[in-house]
Amino acid sequence: MKQLDEEESKKQEQLKAYEKNKTGFDPSKLVYGGNVGAAFNTNYSYVLAQPMVGYKVYPKTIAGLGFTYIYQSNNIGGKTYSTSAYGPIVFVRQSLIPQIFLHAEYQPINHQISITERTWTNQLFVGGGLGSSGAQVYVLYDVLHSSQSLYASPWMIRIGFMF
């Protein structure tokens, strides 16, 4: 009986050691967030949704995925024209100090370039920002910006959140 208790105790210690040293997915390291935006007037509507999920691969480093969806509608001369743009997001964020971070993001996006034609363009945003208690403000620059890009300017200012 004593030998069985010792073997059971040894197995329990091995299990604890395994659990302590185990590496792999830890759901407590997930972070959620994104960006939302909207603008409306009598002739124009714009809605943006960018949900994102990240994983703390290191204490100060988050890597993640997201999705962009944009809807735009214009009323020109009594006619309404609407379009949408969409695509995945891959990002990495590095905290420098608790409130300041660097951010890089690859965003291929499908959008309309004429009445009958859509295309995929690539954006590679790099920059940084400030954030605390979930809210964030960041400034990004698209190093791949071209005349075919969805965004008129290579510069982007975002207000978002991450929890």
Q: What is the mean pLDDT of each run of 10 residues along the chain (163 residues)?
A: 68 60 82 94 94 96 98 92 96 95 98 92 98 91 94 94 90
Rounded Cα–Cα distance for residues 161 and 155 (Å): 19
pLDDT of residue 9: 75
Domain-located, residue 10 = no
Domain contains 103: yes
Q: Is residue 6 part of a domain?
A: no
- Decide if 102 contacts 96 (C-beta within 8 A): yes
Q: In angstroms, rounded to a whole number, what is the distance separating the alpha carbons of residues 60 and 52?
A: 17
pLDDT score recorded for residue 127: 99
Q: Is residue 89 part of a domain?
A: yes
Q: Is residue 12 part of a domain?
A: no
Q: What pLDDT is recorded for position 160?
A: 93
How many domains in the chain? 1
The answer as to whether 38 is a domain residue is yes
In a domain, 33, yes or no: yes
Give the pairing type, strands 44-58 and 135-142: unpaired
Q: Supply the pLDDT for residue 126.
A: 99
Cα gap 36→68, rounded to integer Å: 10
Domain hosting residue 80, numbered range: 29-162
Q: Is residue 20 a part of any domain in this protein?
A: no
Residue 135 to residues 61, 92, 112, 132, 139, Cα–Cα distance (Å): 17, 17, 31, 6, 14
Q: What is the CATH number of the domain that holds 84?
A: 2.40.160
Check residue 15 and give its pLDDT. 59
